[in-house]
A and B are shown apart, each in its own frame.
Chain A
């Protein structure tokens, strides 16, 4: 079934550790996004990529990095996790910057 796959679905992490959330899509979408979702707040954009080889900063990029080596993969890395990065992370893709977003199932991250 075509779509977006995220891994892991859930993770508990000690503060200071490095963590990479994986995201893969098989829809050949150009644009990909990473959001975090916290209770009472709207989805907040962390980083995005309009096409393979390019990335951009969103609303809350500090403490996160991304890469887009190819069309399908868009990993999100926390270099040194902090408790404020406890959240649910969603990866999404769209066929263009104008189109609807398709979301992965989310990665629930707890930083202790």
Chain B
């Protein structure tokens, strides 16, 4: 079966750095997405990786290793507004998105 694993919850301190990991086993691979979802709101797109390596976008970076079935989202200079759930999703060989359950990130002052 297809599976996306990510930690259920993480806690970090304002101003610090946090890394949210995602491992996947899917039938084929056509890209990996990270979305942010604030409580009670819709998911919003953060990043997309299809080749190995690091993609940087401001305070957020996303890394992919296809051979290891592994990605991480790195958030720097954490702000209180970064408190949200972070969803990892992989496009399989049929171009369907397989979603992880999300990682709830709690930022403390």
Contacts and interface: CB of A to CB of B under 8 A. Distances in A.
Q: Do A and B come from one complex?
A: yes
Contact of B48 (A42, A44, A100): A100
Interface residues of B, number: 22
Interface residues of A, number: 17
Contact of B42 (A45, A100, A103): A103
Contacts of B60: none
B4 A98 contact: no
Contacts of A45: 96-97
Interface in B79-101: 87, 89, 91, 95-101
Given A42-B102, A104-B42, 18 more contacts: A41-B101, A42-B98, A42-B101, A43-B89, A45-B96, A58-B96, A90-B42, A98-B31, A98-B95, A100-B33, A100-B45, A100-B48, A101-B33, A101-B35, A101-B43, A103-B44, A106-B41, A106-B42
Interface of A: 40-45, 58, 90, 97-98, 100-106
